[in-house]
Amino acid sequence: MNDAGNAALETDPAADATAEGGRRARNKAERRRRIKAAARAVFAEKGFDAATTREIAARAGIANGTLFLYAPDKVDLLMMIVNDELDPLTQASLAVLSADRPLLAQLMEFFGDRYEYWARDPRLSRSLVRETFNHDAFGDKAGPETRRFHTHRARSKARIAAILRAMQAAGNVRADADTDQAARLLWAVYLAEVHEWLNQPAPVLKDGLARLEAPLRLAVSGLQPAGG
């Protein structure tokens, strides 16, 4: 990994500690990269529960204890990976929301992108959704990546509420609806449905989306302007 690592060349520290910081910083970044890759691989192969932190550490080429200097617990390893993959996707999905298009269709697009992601590795997604519900304690025990996940989820929820407010201003949503409550409702439906969908032996994307659309439509119908 470090091809300039013999003692003779090591006399000048600057020779190795270039550009982006010293050796420490670079070693740390490199290790984090290897840990992510190892965790990704082992989780994919074995699933979250069967994966052991020992195997992840071994495959990353580090000692067991070292792993826990980079992630406070196993869950945070999973969140680390999922955050990296899900964040850009979420950002893209949120960007195309608009006040001018039908609410249900937009919701289905937004949630559909997530369903598509979950469908790529349903077993791992099932574990993630499970851990999502754990949200244990009141923030104390959660690792940084777990917190990141929930922060971004809250942002998404808020963004949906904002769109609802915009639609309200445009007259496409009942004026007397509480948009925050409505966003909570919609998200609750999404969570419950995705949970149930992923708890099937072999979740199929299309089936999941169909199961989602029905209660979502029902929830949306309560938001229609009077006489809609």
Contacts of 190 (CB under 8 A, 6+ apart): 111, 114, 212, 216
Q: What is d(CA 93, CA 111) in angstroms, rounded to the nearest whole number?
A: 9
What token pair was written down for 1?
């990994």
Pattern 104-143, binding to its own copies, x per CB under 8 A? Answer: --------------------------x--xxxx-x-----
37 is a contact residue toward DNA (CB under 7 A): no
- Residue 66 vs 221, nearer CB to DNA: 66
Are 62 and 28 a contacting pair, CB within 8 Å?
Answer: no
Contacts of 29 (CB under 8 A, 6+ apart): 20
Interacting residue with DNA among 53, 59, 119, 225 (CB under 7 A): 53
22 is a contact residue toward DNA (CB under 7 A): yes
Are 95 and 155 a contacting pair, CB within 8 Å?
Answer: no
194 is a contact residue toward its own copies (CB under 8 A): no
Interacting residue with DNA among 25, 96, 154, 158 (CB under 7 A): 25
184 is a contact residue toward its own copies (CB under 8 A): yes
228 is a contact residue toward its own copies (CB under 8 A): no
Using CB atoms within 10 A of its CB, is residue 195 exposed (0-12), middle (13-18) or buried (19+)? middle
Residues forming contacts to its own copies in the complex (CB under 8 A) are 130, 133-136, 138, 177-178, 181-182, 184-185, 187-189, 191-193, 195, 199-201, 214-215, 218-223
